[in-house]
């Protein structure tokens, strides 16, 4: 299933021009070493991908999200998104500053698809149980109610929009993922939701690489992930 295209001519909502500026800022030559370290950190958490992997493009999009929105740089003690917003806040017009602020307020996690409506997808974040209505004016082929996805939501123009990064988990694994969320909340409350997001991403990669193994075995959370 292809990720939703937020630049579709059917939708006037697009944060892409602002994101392009943030990416240019985050990938400046002066940040090259930090960017490479961030990539190593991300691969350690979610599993290393290679160019011939089926999930390569989606996983690299997820890495870019992680780097821009989540990873606090040891150089500045801020994410690139926060740095850029604070930089632009001083001289940019209010509407432009608000656009860059949206990148500091993204919502990332494991979501259950609760409802597919016309122009809208209702998601429930598994840890908090909070519902989010995401604007998506195209029909997302292959996405069904009850599916679990890793996604990032970006507030923009009064709407929540999908970023380009997704990780889809098989229907067979839904029960196991939900049970693991429940178990961690009860028995390991100090663990962060992101830890399970990253582990599930690693298991999704293993699913693509080890087709000889059953999905149930790959998503057996009693077994250490490869």
| 226 inside domain | no
| 187 inside domain | no
Structure tokens at 205: 């990669």
| 195 inside domain | no
User: Cα dist. 18→81, 102, 121, 193 in Å?
Assistant: 11, 10, 24, 28
| 189 inside domain | no
pTM of the shown model: 0.90
pLDDT at residue 8 is higher than 60: no
Q: Average model confidence (pLDDT) for the chain?
A: 91
The total of structural domains in the chain comes to 1
* Residue 94 belongs to domain spanning: 15-104
Q: How far is CA 122 from the centre of its chain?
A: 16
Element (H, E) at 168: strand 159-169
Report residue 165's pLDDT band, with 50, 70 and 90 as the boundaries.
very high
């Amino acid at each position: 299933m292809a990720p939703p295209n937020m630049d579709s001519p059917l939708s006037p909502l697009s944060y892409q021009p602002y994101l392009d500026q943030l990416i240019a800022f985050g990938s400046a030559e002066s940040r090259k070493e930090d960017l490479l370290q961030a990539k190593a950190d991300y691969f350690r958490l979610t599993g290393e991908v290679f160019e011939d992997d089926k999930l390569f493009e989606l996983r690299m999009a997820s890495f870019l999200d992680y780097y821009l929105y989540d990873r606090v740089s040891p150089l500045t003690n801020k994410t690139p998104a926060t740095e850029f917003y604070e930089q632009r806040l001083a001289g940019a017009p209010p509407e432009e500053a608000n656009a860059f602020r949206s990148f500091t307020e993204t919502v990332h996690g494991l979501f259950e698809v609760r409802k597919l409506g016309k122009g809208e997808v209702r998601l429930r974040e598994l840890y908090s149980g909070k519902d989010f209505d995401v604007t998506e004016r195209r029909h997302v082929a292959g996405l069904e109610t009850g599916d679990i996805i890793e996604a990032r939501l970006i507030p923009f123009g009064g709407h929540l929009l999908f970023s380009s990064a997704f990780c889809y988990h098989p229907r067979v694994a839904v029960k196991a993922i939900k049970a693991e969320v429940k178990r961690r909340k009860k028995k390991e409350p100090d663990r962060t939701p992101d830890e399970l997001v990253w582990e599930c991403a690693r298991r999704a990669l293993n699913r693509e690489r080890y087709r000889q193994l059953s999905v149930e075995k790959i998503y057996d959370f009693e077994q250490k992930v490869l």
